[in-house]
Amino acid sequence: MSEKQLLLGDHAIALGALHAGLSGVYAYPGTPSTEITEYIQLSPLARERKVHSRWCTNEKTAMEAALGMSFAGKRALVCMKHVGMNVCADPFVNSGMTGVNGGVVVVAADDPSMHSSQDEQDSRFYGKFAMIPTFEPSTQQDAYNMVQSAFELSESLKLPVLLRVVTRMAHSRAVVTTNSSIRDCNKLNPSENWRDWVLLPVNARKKNDMLTALQPKLHELSDKSEFNIQNKKGNGKKGIIACGIAYNYVMENVADMQEYDILRISQYPLPTEKIRSMASRCDSILVVEDGQPFVEEQLLGVLPHSIEIKGRLSGALPRTGELNPDNVRVALGLKAHEHAEPSETVVARPPALCQGCGHRSVYDAINNVIRNKYPDTKVFGDIGCYTLGALPPFSALSSCVDMGASITMAKGAADAGLEHAIAIIGDSTFTHSGMTGLLDAINENAAITVIISDNLTTAMTGGQDSAGLNKYEAICLGLGLDRNHLHVVEPLPKNMDEITRVITEELEYRGLSVIIPRRECIQTLSRKMKKQNAK
Amino acid sequence: MKRDIILSGVGGQGILSIATIIGDAAMNKGMFIKQAEVHGMSQRGGDVHSHLRISDEQIASDLIGIGCADLIISMEPMEALRYKPSLKKGGWIVTSKTPFVNIPNYPDVEKIYEELRKIGNVILVDAEEIAKANQMSRSVNMILLGAAADALGLDVKTLSESVARIFGAKGKEIVEMNVRALQLGAEQK
Ligand SMILES: Cc1ncc(C[n+]2csc(CCOP(=O)(O)OP(=O)(O)O)c2C)c(N)n1
């Protein structure tokens, strides 16, 4: 039965996928994508259908498992934040080469303005790079509908489809009308065509030719797509191309415009004919796109120079940061709304580690060692709640680059001659991408001290299960760590002397050591207590 | 009717529950809704805000333009003042009076009140005091929502129905307490 529901963009994607007959979601948490998988984990329909929804160790394992499910004939969804695309780039790009059997939709959630990320990369480049179709919704209703179309398209073209969203789509709610019927899941139907899946050069060359030959058809599909719509009033000579969510910011302002000629792009590769036709009607085209100047750059290479192309590159819109109704308004040539200046009394309120968090005691101990013993120590950080140790009052970190980089950067610095190098990494980040780097360090017995700050959860993204729970000592020893240089401590203020001593001794040791401060995240602990009390 | 609302506060203060109740009430009146929330990094004791738009007509943007908000509802006075540029001329601010001090350089709170009052249509609610006096410390946000009912153009009855729907699973007592909180808030003018 068709229903109206107030849904978060992420939830609309999840529900759309379930209604499209999803058999498995494969994902690693990451803002703003996390709620897609969480929705499926709690969905009665998913439970009834036994849809796979357990968290994966990282985005690469997620992408590969989805490809396996597709090989077996079923529909799979892969979800991640934009930087996760870097981690799964190898299987993602090569899934364009193998193609799919059951439909595969990959959701990449970009974070323009970096609300909770380390960069602003635009996942549409990955879609183009892998030469596969990409969808980009403007509304939550689009998101719900597009996932379903994406699965259909994926199976008809035998290609994976990328769905790109941004924070303001993923984390914004609106009313969505759902389908009246729900599609069944696919039956088990493994691919019999090994040449599709064995990317030995002899097969891969053929697949590459096929994928390349398919490209004109993908452009044609975009030209005909119901998602790429034209919206025109009057006979203006100023064209506007608005992609995905940026279309909303344009539409927010059109009431104040006499005439307009808008092309909304929500399916890629570019609808080339629609763009050429706009170019023949217009003197200029303003490209409004959230993220990087992906479309604008392509137009500069495609259209005659008599037409002025405006956008982020030309300076009509800010080069970086997310779009909003205000900067789009100015780019459309309208006067900014009247508004007050910010108050000078207001000060910043940066996020901080919770009071009572175990990471706090770890940093207190590290800072004791640096202050009292080895001021030359450098601390290589990683990604998680504990990255906040970079800010006052701790100011303890020298680096934070990508998941897993703490261990490998500490090793590289030690290789270069840095005497006292500490790597600090969370439990979930360690299993995501730290284990392989630790093996490198163990194999060379690098003189670094690795601290796996274990709070038994993936806290930063809201407390998801951590893949290596209860296995950290076994993992380190299994990789070949010397048992005498593995320590577990409890990060509480009362244990400060002990923790400080252990860190000092291991920094003095000219080889590899691992220290595991272990105490449950106080957020997950207090949620557990509340649940217990409610019983 | 159309209302563009900024909700603000500090991570964990419950601004998303306010948004959920308003959203439910608006949906039941058949209105259109868009609500951009904040998740992730900013929740850890940092400032949080949400854009909530309700309207009888279709809404385009998920974000509210600068100088376009009809109303700011804030769980914290400095966080209300932070969004001053968002407010349109003649717009309303409904904020809790109690500062949430988790930073060393929190400004003089009297200065904040003074600046807020200068903006014009401000309701400073002693929501924490009211909550304490009535043994409903977990309902501070509903007291504030009650105080904002007029400016929202939604009556307490409509909001109470939404409270009953949203908090229904938590039991009758919780619903009654939150409805009472709405009423206490609505009396604060
Ligand atoms: C490639 C990639 N995937 C996902 C994320 C999102 N993310 C940031 S921190 C984090 C979890 C960290 O968990 P953990 O290492 O256990 O530290 P905690 O937050 O619990 O202290 C995740 C999933 C990311 N930044 N990069």
Q: Is the domain of A156 the same as that of A239?
A: no
Regarding whether A167 and A71 lie in a shared domain, the answer is: yes
Residue A515 located in a structural domain: yes
Is residue B188's pLDDT more than 90? no
d(CA B44, CA B189): 32
CATH at A207: 3.40.50.970
Please give the pLDDT value at position B41. 59
Q: Given the CA of residue A386, which atom of ligand 1 is nearest to it?
A: 21
- Torsion (CA) A116, A121, A127, A128 in degrees, nearest 10: 170
Name the phi and psi angles at A436, rounded to 5: -65, -40
Please state the atom number of ligand 1 nearest to the C-alpha of residue A425: 15
Residue B14 has pLDDT above 90, yes or no: no
Q: What is the mean pLDDT of residues A84-106?
A: 98
Residue A44 belongs to some domain of the structure: yes
Q: Are residues A65 and A210 in the same domain?
A: yes
Q: pLDDT per residue over A485-512, tens digit each? A: 999 999 999 999 999 999 999 999 999 9
Classify residue A187: in a domain, yes or no.
Answer: yes
pLDDT band at A531 (very low <50, low <70, confident <90, very high): confident
| Ligand 1 center to A56 CA (angstroms) | 13
Question: Which H or E element spans position B110?
Answer: helix B109-119
A451-479 residues labelled b (16+ CB within 10 A) or e (exposed): bbbbbbbbbbbbbbebbbeeebbebbeeb
Residues A304 and A451 in one domain: no
Residue with CA nearest ligand 1 atom 12? A384
- Give me the CATH number covering residue A310: 3.40.50.920
Q: Which residues contact B62 (CB under 8 A, 6 or more apart)?
A: A168, A169, A172, A174, A245, A248, B34, B35, B36, B51, B53
Tell me: pLDDT of B37 over 80: yes
Q: Is the pLDDT of residue B182 over 60?
A: yes
Q: Which residues pair with B92 in a beta bridge?
A: B71
Contacts of B44 in chain A (CB under 8 A): 351-354, 385, 388
State yes or no: pLDDT of A14 exceeds 70. yes
* Beta carbons of B46 and A388 less than 8 Å apart: no
> Which positions in chain B touch A385 (Cβ < 8 Å)?
44
Q: Does A440 lie in the same domain as A412? A: yes
Domains along chain B with CATH numbers: 2-101+119-186 (3.40.920.10)
Spatial distance between the Cα atoms of A33 and A11, rounded to a whole number of angstroms: 10
Say yes or no to pLDDT of B150 above 70: yes
Please list the residues that pair with A518 across neighbouring strands: A454
Residue A534 resides in a domain: no
Q: Compute the distance between CA of residue A426 and CA of residue A175 in angstroms, rounded to an integer.
A: 38
Task: Round to whole Å and give the CA distance between B105 and A175.
Answer: 41
Mean of the pLDDT values across residues A473-491? 98
| Residues comprising chain A, all counted | 535
Note whether A202 and A225 are within 8 A (CB): no
Domain with A124, as residue range(s), is 4-224
> Is A89 a member of any domain?
yes
Over 90: is that where the pLDDT of A155 sits? yes
Instruction: Kindly tell me if the per-residue pLDDT of A303 is higher than 70.
Output: no
Summary mean pLDDT of chain A: 96
Domain boundary among A224, A251, A277: A224
Q: Is A459 in the pocket of ligand 1 (CB under 6 A)?
A: yes
Write out pLDDT tens, residues A367-414: 999 999 999 999 999 999 999 999 999 999 999 999 999 999 999 999
The CA A479 to ligand 1 mean position distance, Å, reads 23
Is residue A535 very low, low, confident or very high in pLDDT (cuts 50, 70, 90)? Answer: low
Mean pLDDT rounded to a whole number for chain B: 94
φ, ψ at A18 (rounded to 5°): -60, -40
| A364 and A309 assigned to the same domain | no
Pair A308, A379 in one domain: no
In-domain check, residue A533: no
Among A314, A331, A348, the domain-final residue is A331
Q: Is the pLDDT of residue B42 over 70?
A: no
- Identify the pLDDT of residue A384: 96
Contact of B95 with B119, CB cutoff 8 Å: no
Q: What is the pLDDT of residue A351?
A: 87
User: Are A164 and A308 spatial neighbours (Cβ–Cβ below 8 Å)?
Assistant: no
* Number of structural domains in chain A: 3
Interface of A with B in 441-470 (CB under 8 A): 460-462
Position A272 scores a pLDDT of: 95
Residue A450 counted as domain residue: yes
Q: What is the pLDDT of residue B11?
A: 86
Chain B contact set for A349 (CB, 8 A): 10, 45-47, 78-79, 102-103
pLDDT in tens, B108-135: 999 999 999 999 899 999 999 999 999 9
DSSP sequence for A38-104? HHHHH-HHHHHTT-B-PPPSSHHHHHHHHHHHHHTT--EEEEEETTHHHHTHHHHHHHHHH--SS-E
Model pLDDT for residues A21-33, shown as the tens digit of each residue: 999 999 999 999 9
Percentage of chain A with pLDDT > 90?
A: 95
Residue A531 lies in a domain: no
